[in-house]
Structure 1
Amino acid sequence: MSFATTDDGVRLYFEEAGDGSPIVFVHEFGGDHRSWEPQMRYFSRRHRCITFGARGYPPSDVPEDVEAYSQKRAVQDIVAVMDAAKVDKAHVVGLSMGGFATLHLGLEQPDRALSLVVAGAGYGAEKEFEDYFRDVSLEVARNFEAQGSEVFARTYALGASRVQFQNKDPRGWREFAEQLGEHSALGAANTMRGVQARRPSIYDLADGLARMTLPTLVVVGDEDDHCIQPGVFLKKTLPACGLLVMPKTGHTLNLEEPDSFNRALAEFIAQVEAGRWSRRDPRATPDQIMKTS
């Protein structure tokens, strides 16, 4: 078992497979390092792939103090894993909570990324739902503590943007729900309170995002309602951003539609490594409908 140790003494479990240019996978709140298994198996054929458990997700350490959890710390933890694996730069792929961490990595430490994939990132970003998202995050934290992960996972796994996965792949969804039920209730509660409920809206980061030139692919499901408009915002704001909307798809993109996700990710990385994923052509101005002169 491999562990990275952060500057505040937290051990983070990571796994790796394959050789080639590195890809680091950053999981969502409802997942863990195991959530990237379809991608680890596919991309390790030609890349060095790394997946890790965030703090609060065993076998990574579970700090008891909620102040040990934050959006900034989530970025530092990605870097700690890369340092332990002796990776200078990587294609960084994040889903949901991991997508936010990936985006912040691009803002705070762009020199560590070859490219960014920001999938299913939007919850809490919409300004009109900021208060609601904060309140529901705290309620989720209380439910994990009061009911325990095994019980509350049965509710959480049936969210409005997760039933698509259940309908398409009942066996895969059941595995996801069972793994969620194995999570640390303390780790889940602290992650909700310290990371999710406190993170800034991406709309408040517009100035920094407009200056971030890293090749970026934003991926959203068209039934993941609270990620669609934030995805459009990122497309319009990031200079070198592509937007992929996956049809009839919810939040757990990489598990719900692994073949489509893998093909899109493979094509994106190939274009980046060929130097063909460039900034948007300035002639493609969004305020023009038809050219007349």
Structure 2
Amino acid sequence: MHITTPNSIKLYVEEAGQGLPILFIHEFGGNHASWEPQIRAFSRRYRCITYAARGYPPSDVPKDLESYSQSIAVQDALAVLDALKIDKAHIVGLSMGGFTALHFGLTAPDRVLSLTVAGAGYGCEKKLEAYFRGVSLSVADNFETRGAKAFAPIYGAGASRVQYQNKDPRGWQEFVERLATHDDLGAAMTMRGVQARRPSFWDLSKPLAGMVCPTLVMVGDEDDHCLQPGIFLKKTLPACGLAVFPKTGHTLNLEEPELFNRLLAEFFSQVEAGRWEARDPRANPDQVMRTGDEETA
């Protein structure tokens, strides 16, 4: 089905299952179908919702660059929940979708049961901000000039994608074939409007430190430019857990679906039981070992 956002953009939405709602938000290189391993697993006991972001058919593809931004991506996610009359949901995002999930928590914490921020961090490292923006604009130009079909195998063989190719060649090929169906203009506009202009996590340190939503951060240990941002989120968010997948790249939910689903299910269970709490203040990162002198210091 399609829902219509307040600014009249139609978004394609799919849902399956009954129970507490989970909203899955896809990455730049995927689309709504990228969450199939999670929908099949979690729709047995949850109401699972996934949607194609603006710029990704069968959702609308606006032609104006100013129709794409990180803030607009959050408003679209809220519009999906509003259209389905969902008050609160577990919000799960990968990469670009992970950024949206995090910003969703900052924007509408009252709509959040939990946040899962997976494979998010590209462009956040301050020393690489300018480089990332330049690469993002180059990628956008390639999608627009070469077209998704020609550029997909190149983009899909990036430094943090080859791990998926090595482990699961058939799965990786499906990922590339899905990427090849992207709308050329929609991919370019998404890269320019959302990816290249979103703020670094470090620029949001103060609001992030005040965000108390239960949060699970997931990152692959060979997804180099998400590792430090993931550790930053762990240190900054009050109620954050960090899961690092060994020998794993960027496409976490497809590359390691069983591990991803198992960690996600355990996280949901703890949140729903009220047991995913803020970090104990006694776990002071400035302390290495306890000596007994701290109280009198």
**TM tier, shorter chain?**
over 0.9
AA partner of residue 19 (structure 1) = Q
Looking at structure 1, the residues matched to 5 and 192 of structure 2 have their Cα atoms a distance apart, in angstroms, of 20
Looking at structure 2, the residues matched to 133 and 61 of structure 1 have their Cα atoms a distance apart, in angstroms, of 27
Looking at structure 2, the residues matched to 113 and 3 of structure 1 have their Cα atoms a distance apart, in angstroms, of 23
Counterpart of 2:247 in 1: which secondary structure? Answer: coil
The residue that corresponds to 2:109 in the other structure is 110
The residue that corresponds to 2:153 in the other structure is 154
Looking at structure 2, the residues matched to 117 and 44 of structure 1 have their Cα atoms a distance apart, in angstroms, of 17
- TM-fit CA distance, 1:3: 1.1
AA partner of residue 40 (structure 2) = R
- Mind listing any 5+ residue stretches in structure 2 that lack a counterpart? 293-297
- TM-fit CA distance, 1:221: 0.1
When structure 1 is superposed on structure 2, of 72-81 and 3-12 the one drifting more is 3-12
The residue that corresponds to 2:22 in the other structure is 23
The residue that corresponds to 2:295 in the other structure is none
Task: Tell me if 1:145 matches 2:144.
Answer: yes
The residue that corresponds to 1:10 in the other structure is 9
The residue that corresponds to 1:53 in the other structure is 52
The residue that corresponds to 1:119 in the other structure is 118
AA partner of residue 125 (structure 1) = C
AA partner of residue 161 (structure 2) = R
Q: How does 1:1-293 map to 2 (within 5 A)?
A: 2-293=1-292
State the TM-score, normalized to the length of structure 1. 0.99
Looking at structure 2, the residues matched to 70 and 8 of structure 1 have their Cα atoms a distance apart, in angstroms, of 13
- TM-fit CA distance, 1:63: 0.3
- TM-fit CA distance, 1:245: 0.2
Looking at structure 2, the residues matched to 4 and 245 of structure 1 have their Cα atoms a distance apart, in angstroms, of 35
- TM-fit CA distance, 1:25: 0.2
Looking at structure 2, the residues matched to 3 and 85 of structure 1 have their Cα atoms a distance apart, in angstroms, of 11
State the TM-score, normalized to the length of structure 2. 0.98
Looking at structure 1, the residues matched to 260 and 198 of structure 2 have their Cα atoms a distance apart, in angstroms, of 26
- TM-fit CA distance, 1:251: 0.2
Looking at structure 2, the residues matched to 199 and 138 of structure 1 have their Cα atoms a distance apart, in angstroms, of 13
Looking at structure 2, the residues matched to 25 and 173 of structure 1 have their Cα atoms a distance apart, in angstroms, of 20
Counterpart of 1:15 in 2: which secondary structure? Answer: strand
- The Cα RMSD (Å) is 0.4
Give every structure 1 segment of 4 or more consecutive aligned residues whose post-TM-superposition deviation is greater than 3 Å: none
- Mind listing any 5+ residue stretches in structure 1 that lack a counterpart? none
Looking at structure 2, the residues matched to 142 and 163 of structure 1 have their Cα atoms a distance apart, in angstroms, of 23
AA partner of residue 52 (structure 2) = G
- Structure 1 residues 8-39: Cα deviation after superposition (integer angstroms, max 9, x where no partner): 11000010000010000000000000000000
AA partner of residue 37 (structure 2) = P
Counterpart of 2:194 in 1: which secondary structure? Answer: helix
Looking at structure 2, the residues matched to 175 and 185 of structure 1 have their Cα atoms a distance apart, in angstroms, of 18
Looking at structure 2, the residues matched to 154 and 121 of structure 1 have their Cα atoms a distance apart, in angstroms, of 22
